[in-house]
Amino acid sequence: MNMIKRWKTVLRVSMVMLAVSLFFVNSCAAVEQEQAVIEAVGFFSHFPMRSTRQVIEEICAKFGGRVSLTLYDETRPEGQEFMASKNLSGHIPMRLYINGVNTFSLDGRDISFSDFVGYAWTAADLEKAITLALESGVDGIAVDAPVKSGGLNPIMTAGIVVGLIIIALTGFILFWPKKKQRGKRNVG
């Protein structure tokens, strides 16, 4: 096999390997969070809180099965247990958590999903926070959640490294010098 044919073979194999590794990277990196868990505690049975409860239920219904909504009435034992798990006490009209986080940074504002709709937050704010939580998980948008340091997605980084290793090994194997057979001649 002459050198030009070898280069063409290496180029073709490398392109196929690169395409396969990029497909792997894209398919793994595009994984979204499957479901957002919405939990809220408050006086949902009281008349003034009914409109807020209705807004929460309507917004969550827009997302279908991608949102799990649990509403706890703080006057009931399960509501008291939930409040204790979040270190809450006393009378609170309502506190809502998306994937365990209450305060989000949206459009340059820190929004805490507490009290009545229309006071510190709107239905549009809630919809945007849920959408962001589903698209990117909570990291990076939540004020009171752990923030990632940035950089490349670990899955994408692993895919790129694996792809480059495959390409390098392919080139190494194809260009490894073959042993010359001494004393024998091809007669053709």
The structure tokens 């049975």 sit at: 45
CATH of 36-136, one of 3.40.30.10, 3.30.870.10, 3.40.50.300, 1.10.10.10: 3.40.30.10
Cα separation, 1 vs 124, whole angstroms: 66
Which pLDDT value is given to residue 90? Answer: 83
Cα separation, 143 vs 19, whole angstroms: 38
Given a cut of 90, whether residue 71 has pLDDT beyond it is yes
Q: Tell which wins on pLDDT, 16 or 38.
A: 38
If you average pLDDT over residues 143-151, what whole number do you get? 41
If you average pLDDT over residues 24-41, what whole number do you get? 66
Cα separation, 80 vs 152, whole angstroms: 41
**Cβ-Cβ contacts under 8 Å for 96 (sequence gap 6 or more):** 38, 39, 40, 56, 102, 113, 114, 126
Q: What is the largest CA-CA distance in the chain?
A: 100
Domain regions of the chain by residue span:
3-30+150-175, 36-136
pTM above threshold 0.85: no
